[in-house]
Amino acid sequence: MANSIYSVNKGINLSIEFRGLKAQYIWYLAAGMLAIMILFAIMYVCGLNTYICLAIAGGSGTGLTAKVYKLSNTYGEFGLAKKWARKQIPTCIRAAYSRNLFMGNLNVSYGKSDGGNVANNGRRT
């Protein structure tokens, strides 16, 4: 026990990478493949020819894999999320009717009643 050697994990605080896919793109590919498998099962149960099902599923899988790898290489770990967040920022803020909300009715005499000054109990002077 005195001579135990432990290897140090050099990948602390690094994102997960699997065959060139970084971080969330692994999950995107897995979810897409699951959807393609479900699509294949639905087409097969509906009675579509097996070769047609395989062609559609294989083509979709190839296209999905190519697209996910392209996104991973183009945007990296956080780039796609930053792009989606940037689309959510409004280009301008319009305040069409908000001035009336803050200004209120300026013709109102605060502190005065209809009959006259509040200080002399509504008697007119």
- For residue 7, pLDDT beyond 90: no
Percentage above 90 pLDDT, the chain: 33
- For residue 56, pLDDT beyond 80: yes
- For residue 25, pLDDT beyond 90: no
Q: Which of 19-23, 92-96, 101-105 has the highest mean pLDDT?
A: 19-23
pLDDT single digits (tens) 59-96: 999 999 999 999 888 888 877 788 888 888 877 777 66
pLDDT (average), residues 19-45: 91
Q: How many CB atoms lie within 10 A of CB 84?
A: 10
pLDDT computed for residue 75 by the predictor:
82
Inter-residue contact 20 to 70 (CB < 8 Å)? no
C-alpha 116/C-alpha 124 separation (Å) is 6
Residues sharing a CB contact under 8 Å with residue 26, sequence separation 6 or more, in sequence order: 16, 18
Comparing 120 with 103, which gets the higher pLDDT?
103
Give the pair of three-digit tokens for residue 122.
Answer: 């509504």
All structural domains of the chain with their residue ranges: 17-88
> What's the sign of the alpha-carbon dihedral 74, 76, 79, 84?
positive
C-alpha 38/C-alpha 42 separation (Å) is 6
- For residue 46, pLDDT beyond 60: yes
Residues 17-26: b if buried by 16+ CB within 10 A, e if exposed: eeeebbbbbb
| Residue 86 Cα distances to 73, 91, 94, angstroms | 19, 10, 19
The lowest-confidence range among 13-17, 45-49, 81-85 is: 13-17
| Residue 66 Cα distances to 11, 28, 70, angstroms | 27, 12, 6
pLDDT (average), residues 93-112: 60
